[in-house]
Amino acid sequence: MGTQLTNNQILLKECISQEFNESNGYKDLNNYFEHFAASQVLKDFNLSDEEIDNGNTGGGNDGGCDNLYVFLNSELVTID
């Protein structure tokens, strides 16, 4: 049994691919997808691209956690 993509999956994959091609600073499509997914989950917080990327845990040995953010009273907690 082969795996077939639904029309929605095909459209989403193409949309992400186009945005990746128009973006700067992402080494590959997988790296950009992590940014894209986090930006969609956090869109109500109006974070900048830099704030989203700063939450990227990156690499391996992270237990499958790709991004981490801490909020206090709906405000992103940063080093500053």
> Does the structure show a pLDDT above 90 at 54?
yes
CA distance 56 to 49: 11
Split at pLDDT 50, 70, 90, the class of 31 is: confident
Q: CB–CB of 47/54 below 8 Å?
A: no
State what percent of residues in the chain have pLDDT above 90. Answer: 64
**What pLDDT does 49 receive?**
92
Average pLDDT for residues 34-47, to the nearest whole number?
94
The radius of gyration computed from the CA coordinates of the chain, to the nearest angstrom, equals 15
**Rounded distance, CA 15 to CA 25, Å?**
18
Average pLDDT, the chain: 89
